[in-house]
Structure 1
């Protein structure tokens, strides 16, 4: 019994390995936090690139003077590749098939509130909407935490000046 209590007293006085134990406890949490910050930043960057793409495409569609199918195809390429023809991918894996372009007639004045939405000499205006839904590539870290797949979406509307 005396040997055991003497051994315990020696361990209490010895502090040489305390820093090693503290590092062993803290490092996994710091690495996990760093990986989370990196992944969140990457998701946010991807979302901003998708948003910039659909905004560019909607502005292009609003002012395009060719037929709908031609303008739509060029706008989709502009959204995905940053150029009307050619270009390089804004987001890896994002394709023109994931971009939708639609046009609708919208009331110039909100009937419920009387608020003027668009300046127009007509009661309706044409509005083009470009949208996308992009499945964010799965990262093992995210699924280990129990989260499902992430689907990033963005859309933008512009009043049509062309056609």
Structure 2
């Protein structure tokens, strides 16, 4: 039995026809998986960058706005999500102005009392800072969840020193 099996396999020993086809059949699934992973990661990274840009724009706007708080807050939320104070188009699909959280300006220590590290350049001991943040649930294309990962939530926040008001 083993002799016949050995003779059968020896017949293929020097036959190279179809070797490229076998190599491609073995490698193709891995290349496709790698390409899909690169595509999904680049989409996640791009979405995060757009969220960061929106949050930074809103915090800069709030730091310099001289109108009343509620008017500025509404404009800043729209600026973050839509790229314009009024109107505009969504930076990220599914990201709305209500998902942008703007914390009221608060006074913070310019120097960390525990370490003595200078946190903000200031001629006074405190600075007024506004913080804008958001949490966005990334709509996966399927690869992320197919690999067994949970839903991905992108959390972004930015602080800006208040110069207006």
Please give the TM-score of this superposition, normalised by the length of structure 1.
0.91
State the match for 1:60 in structure 2. Answer: 61
After TM superposition, list the pairs within 5 Å mapping 1:78-93 onto structure 2.
Answer: 78-93=79-94
Gaps of 5+ in 1: none
Gaps of 5+ in 2: none
SS at match of 1:12: coil
Name 1:15's counterpart in structure 2. Answer: 16
Matched, 1:111 2:133: no
Distance 1:109 1:8 in 2: 77
Change (3 A) 1:100 1:27: same
For 2:120 and 2:65, locate their aligned partners in 1 and report how far apart those are by CA, in whole Å: 19
Deviates more, 1:58-67 or 1:113-122: 113-122
Q: In the alignment, which residue of structure 1 is the partner of 2:151? A: 149
Shift of residue 133 of structure 1? Answer: 0.6
The equivalent of 1:136 in structure 2 is 138
Q: How far is 1:121 from its partner?
A: 5.0
Count of aligned positions: 163
Of 157, 160, 163, which residue of structure 1 is paired with 2:162?
160
Aligned CA distance change for structure 1 residues 13 and 108 (closer, same or farther; 3 Å):
closer
Partner of 1:31: 32
State the superposition RMSD in angstroms: 1.8
* Cα drift, residue 10 of structure 1: 2.4
Name the residue aligned to 2:125: 123
